């Protein structure tokens, strides 16, 4: 028992060290925002994502210095879990500590001992929201004037750099609130509750809370920006649930929001965003490993409530990935194929590297988040025969069957969307079709401005969300913008000289894009009308220059019309500087 207790303590010490490191980076977000250190913000995103694996490796190495795990008995591991459970009984991040313990066990046993005796497959605690609400929420009295409430808010949330014009901002906010609520309804507002952490991401910061009326609550979000003179200004007031949902979208980078009480913070967010699952909220805060734990719990519970079978995902089959889904669940599973089509001059390791690149990049609301799993088990009886045959044909090295269990050794999960090609084939409303094509062009442009060349831009590699937003999800050919040479098509009058033209392996000819991004002529014409510059090398060379110069752009997640500084004569196509 003493050895088990010692190892349990080592694991918790490793977690605490990891969380302190994580918090230090997160706390630094405010100074990076105030000082407009955007390159440092990008580096912080990458560093924070790598903390977990580095800390995990250190703990596992330390454990091997004290024992030979494979020689220990089942009783030893049960004792160790019992000791660890006692250690984290009153821990402020108990749920994250459980996940860290799970990761240690999975690393030691190669993901082969996923049982509740060995790990926290189910949490040992049923968290009751509200227990520590005062630690994450501050309330503001609204019995006085609206202006007085805003005075209280800005006296509470302070920064180390001045506002450009706080008086103007408060006036804008008051007018914004009165535009949403008639006077009689505004009088019924009894409290405004704000989360204590400021949410930083990109070139913006958000004060997030809710307005409490007699019978309902509404989101209350103050969006902050900072100008080139290092002065903060209020850009928008958001009170629509759809706006908040998009801000917390699955295709956006993780927030930097410092908290010592993540369970309570997530509980409050869940009340604001009832359509978001708990694992999505943890992931949005950067706790992506615990998000994976919560996903597995949610998914496992869903399996007990349903009877449908896993099937191949709708749409055109991929050249690199086999993609399947459970129709009743909003996730797709992606498995790397054993062999790729001849046109794909890439390797399995290259594909994994591309997915890691997206994970550590600013996904700017246009690239779906993915999560990697090892030795993921499926009930063989719920695998559609066509899917099983296809997996055996294309991914034989990644699967194993033991009794009634299909194990996939390596896969990614990703949010389910409607493939854009299917959407465009089925949609008949010309306004929605035009919007989707416009979104497709904006998606490609924004990804490029984030210093990523999408590579394979066939519209089948994009999905469309319920909000009508187009998202890219095929990463096997992405690269940095400087890795491609954008050129005009070589000219020749000799029809037999095609093979002798000088074309390098990294050459890209944007004039060809119109022939393969979308297939049907009326869609091509629409794309050329809305985003004809995509088909010119000059456009791409210009973006390359911006990326090389280190220009970091702000991709506003809400409609530009929500900005207090919106002007109808100004072009709001895909970014604000």
For 320-376, write each residue's pLDDT tens digit.
999 999 999 999 999 999 999 888 888 999 999 999 999 988 888 999 999 999 999
CB neighbour class for 301 (10 Å; exposed up to 12, middle 13-18, buried from 19):
exposed
Q: Is 368 annotated as a binding residue?
A: no
Q: Is 135 annotated as a binding residue?
A: no
More confident residue, 177 or 71: 177
Nearest by Cα to 346 from 321, 367, 325 = 321
Q: How far apart, in whole angstroms, are the C-alpha atoms of residue 245 and residue 425?
A: 27
Q: What is the pTM of this model?
A: 0.93
Q: Phi then psi for 123, rounded to 5 degrees?
A: -65, 150
Is 165 one of the catalytic residues?
no
Taking 80 as the threshold, does the pLDDT of residue 1 lie above it?
A: no
> 55-59, 180-184, 458-462: which range is least confident on average?
180-184
Q: How far apart, in whole angstroms, are the C-alpha atoms of residue 375 and residue 33?
A: 40
Contacts of 387 (CB under 8 A, 6+ apart): 309, 310, 311, 312, 324
Q: Is 334 annotated as a binding residue?
A: yes
Q: Is 550 annotated as a binding residue?
A: no
Work out the number of other CB atoms within 10 angstroms of the CB of residue 13. 13
pLDDT at 576: 38
Alpha helices in 28-73 (DSSP H): 29-34, 38-66
Sheet strands (E) in 260-417: 311-312, 321-325, 331-336, 370-379, 399-402, 405-415
Which residue out of 362, 369, 456, 474 is catalytically annotated? 369
pLDDT at 492: 64
Angle at 384 (CA atoms; ends 331, 471), nearest 5 degrees:
25
Q: Is 318 annotated as a binding residue?
A: yes
Q: What share of the chain is helix, strand, coil (3-state, %, to 5)?
A: 45, 20, 35
- Residues 523-573 have pLDDT tens digits of 999 999 999 999 999 999 999 999 988 888 888 899 888 999 988 766 544
Q: Is 130 annotated as a binding residue?
A: no
Q: How far apart, in whole angstroms, are the C-alpha atoms of residue 263 and residue 287?
A: 11
Q: How far apart, in whole angstroms, are the C-alpha atoms of residue 314 and residue 199?
A: 37
CB 305 within 8 A of CB 329: no
pLDDT at 70: 78
Helix or strand run (H / E) with residue 434:
helix 430-449
């Amino acid at each position: 028992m003493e050895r088990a207790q010692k190892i349990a303590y080592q694991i918790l010490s490793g977690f605490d060290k990891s969380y302190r490191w994580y918090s230090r980076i997160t706390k630094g977000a405010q100074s990076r925002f105030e000082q407009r250190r955007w390159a440092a913000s990008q580096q912080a995103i990458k560093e924070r994502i790598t903390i977990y694996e580095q800390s995990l490796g250190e703990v596992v190495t330390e454990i091997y210095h004290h024992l030979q795990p494979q020689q220990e008995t089942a009783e030893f591991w049960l004792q160790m879990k019992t000791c660890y459970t006692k250690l984290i009984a009153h821990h402020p991040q108990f749920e994250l500590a459980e996940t860290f313990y799970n990761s240690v066990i999975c690393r030691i046993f190669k993901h082969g001992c996923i049982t509740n005796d060995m790990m926290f497959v189910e949490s040992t605690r049923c968290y009751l929201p509200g227990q520590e609400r005062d630690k994450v929420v501050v309330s503001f009295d609204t019995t006085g004037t609206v202006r007085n409430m805003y005075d209280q808010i800005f006296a509470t949330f302070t920064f180390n750099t001045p506002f450009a014009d706080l008086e103007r901002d408060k006036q804008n906010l008051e007018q914004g609130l009165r535009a949403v609520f008639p006077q009689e309804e505004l009088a019924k507002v009894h409290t405004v509750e704000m989360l204590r952490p400021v949410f930083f991401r990109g070139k913006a910061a958000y004060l997030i809370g809710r307005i409490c009326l007699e019978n309902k609550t509404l989101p209350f979000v103050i969006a902050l920006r900072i100008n080139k003179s290092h002065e903060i200004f209020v850009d928008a007031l958001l009170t629509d649930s759809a706006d908040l949902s998009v801000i917390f979208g699955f295709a956006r980078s993780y927030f930097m929001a410092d908290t010592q009480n993540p369970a309570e913070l997530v509980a409050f967010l869940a009340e604001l965003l009832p359509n978001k699952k708990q694992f999505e909220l943890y992931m949005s805060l950067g706790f992506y490993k615990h998000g994976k734990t919560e996903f597995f719990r949610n998914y496992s519970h869903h399996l007990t409530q349903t009877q449908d079978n896993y099937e191949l995902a709708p749409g055109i089959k991929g050249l690199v990935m086999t993609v399947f889904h459970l129709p009743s669940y909003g996730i797709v599973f992606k498995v790397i194929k054993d062999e790729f089509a001849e046109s794909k001059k890439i390797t399995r390791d290259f594909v994994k590297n591309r997915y890691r690149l997206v994970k550590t990049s600013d996904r700017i609301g246009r690239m779906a988040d993915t999560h990697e799993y090892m030795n993921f088990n499926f009930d063989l009886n719920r695998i559609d025969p066509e899917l099983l045959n296809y997996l055996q044909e294309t991914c034989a090295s990644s699967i194993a069957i033991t009794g009634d269990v299909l194990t996939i050794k390596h896969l990614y999960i990703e949010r389910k969307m409607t493939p854009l090609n299917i959407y465009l084939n089925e949609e008949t409303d010309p306004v929605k079709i035009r919007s989707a094509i416009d979104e497709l062009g904006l998606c490609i442009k924004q990804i490029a401005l984030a210093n990523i060349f999408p590579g394979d831009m066939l519209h089948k590699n994009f999905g469309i969300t319920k909000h009508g937003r187009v998202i890219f999800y095929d990463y096997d050919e992405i690269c940095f913008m400087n890795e491609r040479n954008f050129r005009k098509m070589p000219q020749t009058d000799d029809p037999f000289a095609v093979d002798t033209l000088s074309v390098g392996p990294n050459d890209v000819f944007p004039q060809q894009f119109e022939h393969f991004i979308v297939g049907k002529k009326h869609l091509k014409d629409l794309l050329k009308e809305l985003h004809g510059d995509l088909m010119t090398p000059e456009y791409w060379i210009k973006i390359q220059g911006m990326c090389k110069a280190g220009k970091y752009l702000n991709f506003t997640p809400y409609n530009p019309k929500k900005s207090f500084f919106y002007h109808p004569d100004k072009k709001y196509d895909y970014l604000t500087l």
